[in-house]
Structure 1
Amino acid sequence: MDWQVSRNGHLSLENRKVRAALGRAGVTKASDKCEGDGATPLGAYAVRRVLYRADRLDRPQTVLPCRPLQANDGWCDAPDDPAYNRPVRRPYPASHEAMWREDGLYDIILVLGHNDNPPIAGAGSAIFLHCKRDDYKPTEGCIALDPDDVRALLAALQPGDTLTIA
C-alpha cells in the first residue's frame, strides 16, 4: 500500500487525516535534496524498519522489522564518510546524529528508504518518520506525527508498503 503525506502536512490514516510536521525549509524535489538543507524530499520511499526506545515504551505493534535503540546508536551524516546515511555506533569519528535522545522525538522511528541504495554523498541522510514536538514544530527534514498516530501507522503498515510525500 502507498501511504500519502501531503506537502501541507497531513497523512491519511484509518479514514482520518492526521497532522504531520515537515522540514523547516518546507519540501523539495528529491533530486534537489542536499545534506543539512532542512527540507523534506518529495517522492515515494520504501518503509525499511522501526527503531524504538524500549526503556520508555513497549515494542510497537508492527510486522515490520523492529529493534530497540541502544544508547550508543548514531546515524552518519558526513557526506565524505564511508558510512554516510548509515547507522553507526557512538562514539564515531565523523559527523553523526545521536539516535538516543532525551526529548522523545526518537522514541519511535520509522526508517524510510531515502538515498540509501546506495547512498549518494551529500544527497541527504536520515529521512525518518518520528514523534512530533508538542507544537508540531518543523523538523530538520523528516516527517513527525503524534506518537499515537505513529503507533497506529505502524500497526497498519505491511512489508513492501511505501510512504509518499506529495
Structure 2
Amino acid sequence: MSLIEQLKDAQKAAMRAKEKARLGTIRLAMAAIKQVEVDTQTTLGEDEITAVLTKMVKQRRDSIKQYEEAGRQDLADVEAAEVLVLQEFLPQPLSEAELDALIEKAMADAGASSMQDMGKVMGLLKSQVQGRADMAVVSKKIKARLG
C-alpha cells in the first residue's frame, strides 16, 4: 500500500474513532503533501512524500525545543503528540550500528579522506537514510570521521 493510501486510511480511521488530535495531524500532513504537489505541478512519489513528512517532524522537534525553553510544556506536548503520529508513516529509524555501517560504506565508495569529500558522502547517503535518520546527526558523524 502506498504512503498516500496509508495516510488516507488512517484519516478515515481517525474520523470514525473521533480522534481529533490524530485527525488534525494527518490532515496537516495531507495538506502539506498537496501543497508541494500544487507548487511543483507533479504527483509526488514515495520518496518525496517521505521527505515532506520528515520535514514536518523536524519542524515539530524544533518547535518542541523552543516551547520547552520558553516554559510552555503544554504546547511542547501537543507538538510531541504530532511527531508520534507523523512517525507512524515514516520508515523504521536506523539503529546506531546500521547508520555507522552505511556511513563507512559511503565513505569507502566515495574515497573520502578529507572534509572536502563530505558533499560526496552526504550525496550517497541521503537517499538511503531519508526519513530513517536525522541528517544533522549523520552530518556530525561524517564530520567526526573526516575531521
TM-score normalized with structure 1 length: 0.23
| Higher helix proportion (structure 1 or 2) | 2
Higher relative contact order (CA 8 A, sep 6+): 1
| Higher strand proportion (structure 1 or 2) | 1
Which structure: larger Rg? 2
